[in-house]
Chain A
Amino acid sequence: MNTETKNKRVVFTMGGKGGVGKTGLMVALAEWFEANEIPFTLLDLDTENKARGSLKHFFNGSVAKVNIHTPAGLDAFVDHLESGAAIILADMGAGSGQIASDWFDAMYDDVSATGARFTAVGVVTPDPASVESVLTWANRLQERAQYVVVQNATSPQSDFSYWDSAEQAIRFREALSPIVIRMEFRLAELENPARQHGIRLGQVATRQNAINELKRASIVMRAESYRRRLFSEFDRAKEIFLP
């Protein structure tokens, strides 16, 4: 294979459990790359996700929607790596595990031989099903990807017992050494209208939006704080977010 994908990285969400915050995480990660002035290509592989709340909703016009439910599966990675930026951010939809697994089985050796690297991002919540989903993906992908696990607090006092203390999760951390980062609980007054209108945290923090309820001083300051702390978490994992 002479496709040129050296020094490139694909960062993708481990689809599986829906509604855990995968897209929200990917939106924030894209903002982190933007803030650091590092170009990236956004792929929305979540064909089930409706327009509202999808990656395309937040980054209108700059997101390629890709249907992975074809025999070619995730071949879009290869094509975009060759022609686009050094980094691909791909938001996988719920239930895409088998497709990803099959694609890695068929293509990983050749793609990785060109120098491309993969980072699998899992999002866990207090719901044990979200933990099982991440472990299932890791079981299939093994060391073919590096792992980031995001603890997404869905309430002010989120309990991550299943992620912290389940025997299988402990074994996963020991075997594949994921970098664990935290995404703190966000106030509904900020989160809900932002999702409704496809407004990113940075657009709230800088008041670059037309939604009055997102321009309140307290909401703007909250957005700044969330963003700063989340970016600081991303900084900790920068080694496996960058090529």
Chain B
Amino acid sequence: MDPTLLSLLDSIPQKSPRSKLETHRELIRQLRRKGCTYRDIVRILHERVGLEVAVSTIHSFIKVRAKHRKQLQYELPPLEPESTRSGVSPDDVTSRIAALKAKPVQQKAKPKHFHFEESEPLRLVGQGGSR
């Protein structure tokens, strides 16, 4: 390039990113990978980063950058034996199942100590009737 133009180029400072989201690009990318919606991301940026941004801005930010991204070829991971995958030996599993079976089941409904039939009138004791 012409030395004059190079000098001119050097004299022009680097502009800051056009989008205020640029600095949070990786965070947004990871949130999308975790299945967060655009609204989720807006909320997280507001609550955790203190950044106010519209849903449409997030959408545009992602869309524009996705245009230049090559489609990835997703592959299923190779099959592994069950015990290797969970990292637990069959003996451990057996003992855990036994412990779970032995664990007392929490009673759902507590027995009532007092019962009042709301549709019935009050009955005065000793007067043999209701009001």
Contact = CB atoms under 8 A, between A and B. Distances in A.
Interface of A: 128, 131-132, 135-136, 138-139, 142-143, 161-162, 165-172, 175-176
Contacts of A142: 110, 112-114
Contact of A166 (B114, B117, B123): B123
A211 to B, nearest CB: 40
B122 A139 contact: no
22 contacts: A128-B122, A128-B131, A131-B122, A132-B118, A135-B116, A138-B114, A139-B112, A139-B114, A139-B115, A142-B110, A142-B113, A162-B122, A162-B131, A165-B125, A167-B122, A167-B125, A168-B117, A168-B120, A168-B122, A171-B114, A171-B115, A172-B116
Q: Which 6 A-B pairs have the closest CB atoms?
A: A166-B122, A175-B114, A139-B116, A135-B116, A167-B123, A175-B113
Contacts of A132: 118, 122
A162 B115 CA distance: 17
Contacts of B124: 161-162, 165-167
Main secondary structure of the interface of A (DSSP, over half): helix
Contacts, number: 54
Contact of B113 (A161, A167, A176): A176
Interface residues of B, number: 17
Contacts of A166: 122-125
B13 interface: no
A143 to B, nearest CB: 6
Contacts of B114: 138-139, 142, 171-172, 175-176
B109 to A, nearest CB: 10
A172 B118 CA distance: 13
Contacts of A167: 122-125
Nearest to B115: A139
Nearest to A132: B122
Contacts of A161: 124
Contact of A168 (B110, B116, B126, B127): B116
B131 A170 contact: no
A106 to B, nearest CB: 13
Contacts of B123: 166-168
B125 A170 contact: yes
Nearest to B123: A167
